[in-house]
Amino acid sequence: MDERVRLLLEIFDQAYTAPSWHGTPLKGTLRGLSGRAALWRPGPKRTASGNSSSTPPTGNAWSGAGCCAIPPSAFPREGVNWPALPTHPDNAAWRRDRALLDEEHRILRRVIAALKPADLGRRGWRSRWKVRAEIYGIASHDLYHAGQIQVLKRLIA
């Protein structure tokens, strides 16, 4: 595997699942979090970052395959950036949301692993950003949400 692609995978994995120097990755922040806690807000329609939202912190999981110069796959929920809450937002729905987030990350990881060095400098599908920048951005976005969730968990306690 090309060293640049390997490094992007390492960064992507550290942000979502792998142990890393920066602390708990996104998936780790979700461990032990109940559906009720995932829906908790510090105020009406507010998140820890101050953004208005009615979705859980992981609610903007999206099919990242589009970053890699191919059209994104169909996201299985309405509202790609801010999916609507499940009809019955309970622990079962929360487990399904976490499974969906895992699956979207698995798909994107496979896409990243299949990249060729020439792909890294191309623009993503319908994007002004190069593929390598989008992958860094996705990892950064995962870490943003990990921090947001950690703040929410502290506020709940």
Q: How far apart, in whole angstroms, are the C-alpha atoms of residue 99 and residue 64?
A: 16
Its domain, for residue 152, covers: 3-156
Entry pTM: 0.81
| 42 vs 115, higher pLDDT | 115
User: What does the block give as tokens for 33?
Assistant: 């979090």
pLDDT tens digits along 32-63: 888 888 888 787 766 555 544 444 444 344 44
Q: What is the largest CA-CA distance in the chain?
A: 48
The number of domains in the chain is 1
In 3-state terms the chain splits into helix, strand, coil percentages (rounded to 5) of 55, 5, 45
Kindly state the tokens that stand for 88: 């019955």
Q: Residue 73 carries which DSSP code?
A: P
